[in-house]
Chains A and B, each alone.
Chain A
């Protein structure tokens, strides 16, 4: 698990309106359960409060020399009330915890539903670990607030009110004396919870520091070892561990004082009752039964009091978590259909890009690339007629991937620049747009299910023989047959490990399987050897007749037969034409061809 280092918990006073509204909103579905739980809680406390009073009657009965049967009857009533109380307690907990779990379930679903709608720009700037921590830890913190947290708050309030009422009924004077140390208790709790909170925040930070240090050392182990800095790194690490040790021990001291102290203050109240109450009994102002019952009521206050510190922490953490979740839920999604979204009129697959200029705005990316200055694409215009192939080449960072991602509206292009079959992609219904595109991304991400399911990812009802056919097209049949489970072999950590080339071919089959009008290959056969690639391209020729194809590649062998080749440089169209035309022009493309000839020449030299 990750250590939660972000966002210090807000103070308790900071229950914002939106937070409150959110809690109430989530609770609405469970309001009956919560009301029932509250009723059960009141019933529980009624039973619990009855026991000392019955005890008082029993003792008075014994004292007055009544028969064993009447005492026995009282004992039976105590047992019955206890059973009833137990049943009510179980019911109240089950119901309220159920509501808490229900809210957790709802929030998690809401969060995931929202995540499914957020665009790559959100994922570019948010770390996976953060999102996971919110979906798992934060929802769990909210559940603690809404389940056990609220239960304890209600229980404490009811128990306090009831126990004190009963004590006053027994003896107002003794109540006053017994509760005298309690303000002290509240004072201590308040002071120490603040300190506990500050300390635990500091400890979390130190632990995060230790974690970062380990991470940094492992990542930079070559430098550490090459410069023989193991000892100095070790001392720096130990200094951090030492700080952690000292803070933890301070925590132990504070905790070691506060919890026993709460118990001690409660014991002192007992002592007071023993002294003052004993005197009252001797003076005849109180019966022994009253005395014992009073003591029992005092004992009932102990737990709610000790639980108070815990409740405060739960509420703080829950509210902080709620704030963080709200932040994600408030992130607007660009990938929504407007009210005037239209369906694709035809499925011809004509692509037209007119004067497209685009830049990623905002903060620098996580990998330390400086903030993009200026635009990634500059006045790009390309037309691809239905059924033709357009190849895009260019250096890393020249804007090729951005361009094709805009076709699928993974990034939203400016209005009036990108058209499919004559309709602006921004006006198309997203589902329609994506259904007509078969996209093979640069990183061939596969899910950890079977190969067959991965291929049928976009069309889960694909019949097996069709899956097999696509396997054949991407030249995967033989290799798949060699796996123990064939097409049913599970991919990934818990299954078979596919090579980069195999993964790319599964991703290609996945895109073909949806039967798209437009097929986009974003450098997606880079890990496949040239020979297999030629074979695949040959088979594709047959299988994708009529499809419009966009091929991004570094390999001349991939692009040479395209109907048009576009060379991007620094976000602009530098050259365009057929292979022969571009070679003749002697520009960037001709350079690329020459370099690859040299590389092949080198590779051909025997080792």
Chain B
């Protein structure tokens, strides 16, 4: 999305009912299933012919049997009529089935493509696109496209085929009477155009008003406390009622058009009937026409007016589909700034359990242009197997280091090396398969504990069991009747923050990556869980290269080296004791963030 459009207008704008450019873009999605559309279209003439045959057979029955009073052969006509009914039924079913099948498959592919596209995006994309908007793209918008297939395009073609068929058949049966019938077509067309324009404007006004109702409500619900604190209930109710009132009036107007259109079409159909009685009756009196033809005309006229009534509904469906397609393709047009190189360099094979050297060389980074640098000329190395703790005040740039290492964002200047290779020269997959990440705010998926440990990876049950055991997840899972299948609610809200951390640890263990990146949680947990976390952490750090954003005193004390970050720069480096002795930034940080823990630890351990 290049320009920031009003999100709310974006959802309400309705344009044309057919846009060739959008349809051309949709074509690659349709092509694989085009044969189903072909299948459907093949049924259309059959259905149309079978439908057209029925009034004609009534004509034959009247003219050849009922009026002359001959029974013989009427069975044949009735049989043909039955056949026409059944064939029409079968053909309509085939027609419907084909279009829906094509439509559903196109939607399936569209959704799949969109989802895959979403998963390829980088951090910047997700910063810019709210979740709700993306969900709408994959649900409502694709649904609108499906509706277009189900009751838009093909239905319109079928309707038009039937209309044209009726016009032709009338001409073939009785040209003079047909001409008389055709005289209603111009007024019908005029009426349709007149009402279509009115209805379209009314629909547009309604959509805008519904959106206004929505926004006003949403704003008031979100700001209800302020409304109440400032005693604005009365005024805001009046404002709401004004919008509601306008909504009511616009809808009433559209109702009048809608009801009139329906009635006018209906009336026109009856007037055509009267016209037929008058002119056709005269012709019969002159012996120029048979009763059968007149009755057949009655039937054809009724069939002619049927599809005209719901023309406006189909038109709206098409409009909505076009608007949805526009938004869908806009989303598909975004290209992630971060992608695997065309010819990725292979990362050197891992040697044993050790492995994973990390180096930052003169890294500069900013989230927005070059105005606010979050990292400034940052350089450091982490040797294989080494545990490095990163400390710093809020806003020092600690989390950014993790995001850059994983290549969720691209560095602006300088480079990051993994085992001697620039992260931009290897494939994203290879890079990320080297690193196990544990975030400060542990994200759990709805499902089971086991699913959250191994995610979708093919990790054997023993390995999962080992990871669960080592990360002390077993401490609470074993007590649960379902064991590892213990359910996890959305975002893990049925678990405590300590339990969530342990699950994240076991996830990292199960994936067994040479490099561990850990952003320690800040929330305090009860002493018992704290003990479990420290044990699990010990297992996790063993043998791995680890970069830890430390919030625990025990972690910084156990680290091989501590990097002190300040305003995006590396300011001090050394072990805990060395840095304390220096009485610099670290000393202040220590007093601010960690000394309290020392006191607390002393308190809990008598």
> Which of A67, A72, A76, A299 gathers the greatest number of chain B CB atoms within 10 Å?
A72
B21 in the interface (beta carbon within 8 A)? no
Residue of chain B at shortest CB distance from A87: B263
Flag B57-96 by CB within 8 Å of A: 1 or 0 each: 0100110011101110010011001100110110011001
Q: Size of chain B's interface in residues, with CB distance under 8 A?
A: 144
Of residues 90 to 117 in B, which have CB atoms within 8 Å of A's CB atoms?
92-93, 96-97, 100-101, 104-105, 107-108, 111-112, 115-116
Inter-chain contacts of B138 with A (CB < 8 A): 210-211, 214
Measured CB to CB, the closest approach of chain A to B36, in angstroms, equals 11
Inter-chain contacts of A13 with B (CB < 8 A): none
A237 x B443 contact (CB < 8 A): no
Q: A264-B85, A268-B85, A603-B393 are in contact. Are A274 and B58 (CB under 8 A)?
A: yes
Q: Which residue from A81, A211, A281, A460 sits with its C-beta under 8 Å from B139?
A: A211
Q: A75-B277, A252-B96 are in contact. Are A222 and B439 (CB under 8 A)?
A: yes
Flag B240-275 by CB within 8 Å of A: 1 or 0 each: 110011011001100110111011101100110111
Flag A225-236 by CB within 8 Å of B: 1 or 0 each: 111111111111
B235 in the interface (beta carbon within 8 A)? yes
A68 x B229 contact (CB < 8 A): no
> Which of A235, A261, A275 gathers the greatest number of chain B CB atoms within 10 Å?
A275
A288 x B291 contact (CB < 8 A): yes
Inter-chain contacts of B569 with A (CB < 8 A): 607
Measured CB to CB, the closest approach of chain A to B369, in angstroms, equals 17
Residue of chain B at shortest CB distance from A283: B69
Measured CB to CB, the closest approach of chain B to A276, in angstroms, equals 10
B244 x A109 contact (CB < 8 A): yes
Stretch of B217-225, B539-547, B551-559 at the chain-chain interface: B217-225
A248 in the interface (beta carbon within 8 A)? yes
Of residues 108 to 124 in A, which have CB atoms within 8 Å of B's CB atoms?
108-109, 112-113, 115-118, 120, 123
A218 x B93 contact (CB < 8 A): no
B244 x A105 contact (CB < 8 A): yes
Of residues 567 to 606 in B, which have CB atoms within 8 Å of A's CB atoms?
567-569, 571, 585, 588-589, 591-592
A-B contacts, CB under 8 A, total: 384
A233 x B228 contact (CB < 8 A): no
What is the bound-complex CA distance between A299 and B55, given in angstroms? 13
A102 x B281 contact (CB < 8 A): no
Q: A368-B491, A457-B230 are in contact. Are A93 and B507 (CB under 8 A)?
A: no
Stretch of A372-380, A439-447, A551-559 at the chain-chain interface: A439-447
Of residues 270 to 319 in B, which have CB atoms within 8 Å of A's CB atoms?
270-271, 273-275, 277-278, 281-282, 284-285, 291, 294-295, 298, 302
Measured CB to CB, the closest approach of chain B to A334, in angstroms, equals 11
A260 x B92 contact (CB < 8 A): yes
What is the bound-complex CA distance between A603 and B8, given in angstroms? 41
Q: A78-B273, A226-B432 are in contact. Are A90 and B115 (CB under 8 A)?
A: no
What is the bound-complex CA distance between A457 and B446, given in angstroms? 43
What is the bound-complex CA distance between A217 and B455, given in angstroms? 12
23 residue pairs from A and B, CB less than 8 Å apart: A55-B273, A78-B270, A89-B263, A90-B262, A101-B251, A112-B237, A136-B217, A211-B139, A215-B135, A219-B131, A219-B443, A220-B445, A222-B437, A225-B406, A233-B456, A237-B115, A260-B93, A295-B295, A368-B492, A370-B496, A431-B231, A441-B225, A602-B393
* Chain B residues in the interface with A (C-beta under 8 A): 6-8, 54, 58, 61-62, 65-67, 69-71, 74, 77-78, 81-82, 85-86, 88-89, 92-93, 96-97, 100-101, 104-105, 107-108, 111-112, 115-116, 118-121, 126, 131, 134-136, 138-140, 143, 146, 150, 210, 213-215, 217-233, 235-237, 240-241, 244-245, 247-248, 251-252, 255-256, 258-260, 262-264, 266-267, 270-271, 273-275, 277-278, 281-282, 284-285, 291, 294-295, 298, 302, 376, 393, 406, 408, 428-429, 432-433, 435-437, 439, 443, 445-446, 455-457, 490-493, 496, 507, 511, 566-569, 571, 585, 588-589, 591-592
